[in-house]
Amino acid sequence: MVGFCVALVAYNVVALLKGALRAAHGAEYGEEPLSRYYLTLEVAQVPTGRESALGAEPWEIFRQLSLREFATTLVAIAQRLDTKKDTTHKRGPQKPPPNQLSGKRQPHVSTARILASRG
C-alpha cells in the first residue's frame, strides 16, 4: 500500500513538471522530446547536494506562495531549462544480428549430463 501511494505522489510530481515545461516551452515539448530518464536523474541527484548545502530555510518561501504564484514560479523556472540537455536522443540504426550456426553439427549437451557421465 505504501508503494502504491509513493507511486501516486511520484506520478503527480512528474505531471506537475511536465505541465510547467509545456507552459514554458510549448505544448509539444512536454510529451515526446522530454526524456524521463534525464528528468528522473535530475530529481534523484540534485536535491541531495542542494539540501546539504542550503538546508531547509530557502524552501520556506514556497509554503507561503498562493497556488497562482507557485504556478507562475514553476513556469519561470521551467523557462530557464536547457531544452537540449533533457530531451530524448534518437537511436541510430541497429545492426542486423549475425547469422547463427545450426546446432545440427554440434548439438548442445547440458552440464548435468556431462557430470553424470563422469561419475
Predicted confidence (pLDDT) per residue in 32-81, tens digit: 667 777 777 776 776 655 565 556 677 778 788 898 998 888 888 888 87
Q: 59 by DSSP, 3-state: which?
A: helix
Beta bridge partners of 70: none
Contact between residue 118 and residue 64 where contact means Cβ atoms under 8 Å apart? no
Q: What ranges do the domains of the chain cover?
A: 2-89
HSE (side-chain half, CA atoms, 13 Å) at 5: 2
Whether this model's pTM surpasses 0.85 = no
What mean pLDDT is reported for the chain? 77
Tally of CA atoms within 13 A in the half-sphere of 86 that contains its CB: 21
Higher pLDDT, 115 or 79: 115
Residue 106 has phi, psi (to 5 degrees) of -130, 85
- How far is residue 84's CA from residue 61's CA, in Å, rounded to a whole number? 30
